[in-house]
Amino acid sequence: MEDVLALVEARLRTALGEPDARAAVTFLGTDRIEVLRFMDGDIVRYATLGMSANPMTDPAEALADPVKGPRAELVLSVRAGLADTDKVLRPLAVLAASPQVEGVVVAPGASLDVGGPLWPSAPFSSVLVAEPGGLVEDLELDDPMDPVRFLPLLPMTSNEAAWKRVHGAQELQERWLTHGTDLRDPLRRSVTLE
């Protein structure tokens, strides 16, 4: 487990540079989850470290495989200085712990909800899990382990989350693209959904 996390942190540093801050959160009955903060000009990126220590297991499986299965970490990018986004550390750790706590497999297209604002006064309480590979490349591990995927998180307003449940992730992403939505704006309003 430690070896996997050391490789994951090295991949994050290669892709995003040196973290300027880190915090750790431990929930009862779970492994420790860290959140690393990286500054890139006017963009701040938060990446989880710890979610990939063990493979995610489908709750329908009778027995969890300790080696094989999907592994992931979460990455959130927002514009710096517009909101108190550093308060997203605990909600991000909650999302990263959800495979251990709730037995969910986090994959592209999924919605994850934290039940409250992602940071103080945020118009978002949920995120859309986007496709990996753009910002941080997948990390290949020795067979038979699956690679670690670095999944971008796109904050959604409650209206967008409800619309996504009906129309799907692809439709919501196309709507954002059509309207030129700045998904890194921590104060943005909901995209037009008519």
Instruction: Check whether 63 has a pLDDT greater than 90.
Output: no
Whether the predicted pLDDT of 37 surpasses 70: yes
What whole-number distance in Å separates Cα of residue 110 and Cα of residue 133?
16
Mean pLDDT, range 162-166, rounded to an integer = 94
Query: 177 vs 64, 77, 170, 181, CA distance in Å?
Result: 39, 17, 11, 6
Q: Does 60 have pLDDT greater than 70?
A: no
Of these ranges, 22-26, 70-74, 102-106, the one predicted with the greatest mean pLDDT is: 70-74
